[in-house]
């Protein structure tokens, strides 16, 4: 979800008082506010140590689904051990009943902010950052946690020297707020045991799309079961966006259109739109990560990272072939079933319901900017706070 800077009077220490009053922490300033959570910079009252605290928003604090979700996020983070995933330190509840968890405080900014400031990143730098993201996700996957919302705003870029000595910039994955925890993963499943492909998710409602439309995998767009390969797809989008400056479906503006593009539209090669030359091998790797069918993608974050490592090695040696612009459009998984889905759903973007039980799409609320949509797997439409956010429900799309 898109984090917004917060400055209202119910902020961390505004007119309504310190939101962490009665806890070991003192709130200092707001860092972001999403659909469900509020993120504040804080300080441990006794230790004077700076931390970051994520709380369930005040209006949602007494809905047990949100409290559970925050706990799952904290426990998922605790289960993952990686220098490329933000560390969780504590979990608690304010005296007013708002659940919160405490994280290490990172210094720097998000990858989204980095891209806004600098525009597309040089290929070698982008590959390095994406490999770090993949390392964090690989650790999460090993722990049985699928992120499901990997995007620029959920990757933090630590300032040089802040997380590692010297000039090294460390990327850390944030916001496991809609993470899926595979069966038994948080109940002490044997380390290294293969994660279930579709174990029961944490509190979500069947048939609701979870994640962000702009960065949803085709299977998320169709409310199908997801596994680690959904995160591989999202990292493919991330890689594309970092070197090109925008994603492959930037030309599509409405949320339903974007979801349809994820399911049906063949992405162009990054080199087609990039202002910098792109190694042919990187074009191929990105397209592979963006394959519509999970089985045609890299099968794990490690496999994607290994290929990017190979490409980085080639770049360092000055080898490999490069492409600059106008490369032929690629065909990525445009199969007959995809066409059937497209035909069933048609061009409409609102209230479309296909016959025959093949596919149904219902837009439950009005249009909203795609990136501001949140599909959190909860009964969004019934929650007042989301009334301004369109909740798109895709049901029964078992077309693949």
50-79 footprint of ligand ATP as x/- string (CB under 6 A): --x-x-------------------------
Of 165-184, binders to Mg ion (CB under 5 A) are: 175
What is the closest distance, in whole angstroms, from the C-beta atom of residue 40 to ligand ATP in the complex?
9
Cβ–Cβ < 8 Å for 184, 156: no
Q: Is 212 in the site for Mg ion (CB under 5 A)?
A: no
Q: Which does 37 bind (CB under 5 to 8 A by kind): Mg ion, ligand ATP, none?
A: ligand ATP
What is the closest distance, in whole angstroms, from the C-beta atom of residue 37 to Mg ion in the complex?
8
Q: Is 177 in the site for ligand ATP (CB under 6 A)?
A: yes
Q: Binding residue per annotation — 54? A: yes
20-49 footprint of ligand ATP as x/- string (CB under 6 A): -----------xxxxxxx-x----------
Cβ–Cβ < 8 Å for 6, 13: no
Annotation marks residue 90 as catalytic: no
Q: Can you tell me which of 23, 82, 132, 154 binds ligand ATP, judged by CB under 6 A?
A: 154
Of 14-22, 102-110, 189-197, 302-310, the segment contacting ligand ATP by CB under 6 A is 102-110
The whole-angstrom separation of Cα 299 and Cα 148 is 16
Which of residues 175 and 307 has its CB atom nearest to Mg ion in the complex? 175
The whole-angstrom separation of Cα 16 and Cα 128 is 43
Which of residues 50 and 339 has its CB atom nearest to ligand ATP in the complex? 50
Q: Can you tell me which of 61, 77, 106, 234 binds ligand ATP, judged by CB under 6 A?
A: 106
Interface residues with ligand ATP (CB under 6 A) are 1, 3, 31-37, 39, 52, 54, 86, 103-106, 110, 153-154, 174-175, 177
Interface residues with Mg ion (CB under 5 A) are 154, 175
Residue positions annotated with a catalytic role? 149
Annotated binding site for ATP: 54
């Amino acid at each position: 979800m898109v984090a917004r800077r917060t400055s209202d009077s119910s902020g961390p220490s505004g007119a309504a008082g310190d939101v962490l009053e009665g806890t070991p922490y003192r709130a200092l300033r707001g860092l972001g506010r999403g659909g469900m959570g509020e993120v504040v910079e804080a300080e441990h009252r006794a230790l004077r140590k700076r931390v970051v605290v994520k709380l369930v928003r005040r209006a949602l604090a007494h809905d047990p689904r949100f409290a559970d979700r925050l706990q799952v996020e904290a426990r998922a983070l605790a289960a993952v051990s990686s220098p490329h995933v933000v560390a969780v330190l504590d979990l608690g509840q304010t005296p007013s009943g708002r659940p919160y968890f405490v994280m290490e405080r990172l210094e720097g900014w998000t990858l989204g902010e980095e891209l806004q400031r600098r525009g597309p990143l040089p290929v070698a730098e982008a590959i390095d950052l994406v490999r770090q993201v993949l390392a964090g996700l690989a650790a999460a996957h090993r722990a049985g946690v699928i992120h499901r919302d990997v995007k620029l705003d959920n990757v933090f870029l630590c300032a040089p020297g802040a997380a590692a000595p010297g000039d090294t910039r460390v990327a850390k994955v944030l916001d496991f707020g809609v993470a899926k925890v595979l069966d038994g993963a948080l109940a002490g499943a044997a380390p290294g045991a293969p994660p279930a492909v579709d174990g029961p998710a944490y509190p979500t409602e069947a048939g609701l799309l979870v994640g962000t439309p702009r960065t949803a995998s085709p299977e998320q767009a169709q409310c199908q079961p997801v596994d680690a390969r959904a995160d591989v797809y999202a990292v493919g989008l991330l890689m594309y966006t970092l070197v090109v400056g925008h994603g492959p479906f930037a030309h599509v503006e409405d949320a339903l259109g974007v979801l349809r593009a994820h399911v049906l539209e063949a992405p162009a090669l990054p080199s087609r739109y990039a202002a910098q030359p792109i190694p042919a091998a990187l074009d191929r790797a990105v397209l592979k990560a963006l394959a519509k069918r999970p089985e045609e993608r890299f099968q794990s974050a490690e496999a994607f990272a290994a290929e990017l490592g190979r490409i980085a090695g080639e770049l360092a040696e000055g080898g490999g072939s490069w492409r600059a612009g106008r490369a032929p459009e690629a065909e990525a998984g445009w199969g007959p079933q995809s066409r059937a889905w497209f035909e069933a759903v048609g061009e409409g973007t609102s209230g479309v319901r296909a016959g025959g039980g093949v596919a149904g799409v219902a837009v439950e609320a009005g249009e909203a900017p795609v990136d501001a949509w949140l599909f959190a797997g909860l009964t969004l439409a019934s929650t007042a706070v989301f009334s301004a956010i369109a909740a798109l429900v895709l049901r029964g799309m078992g077309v693949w």
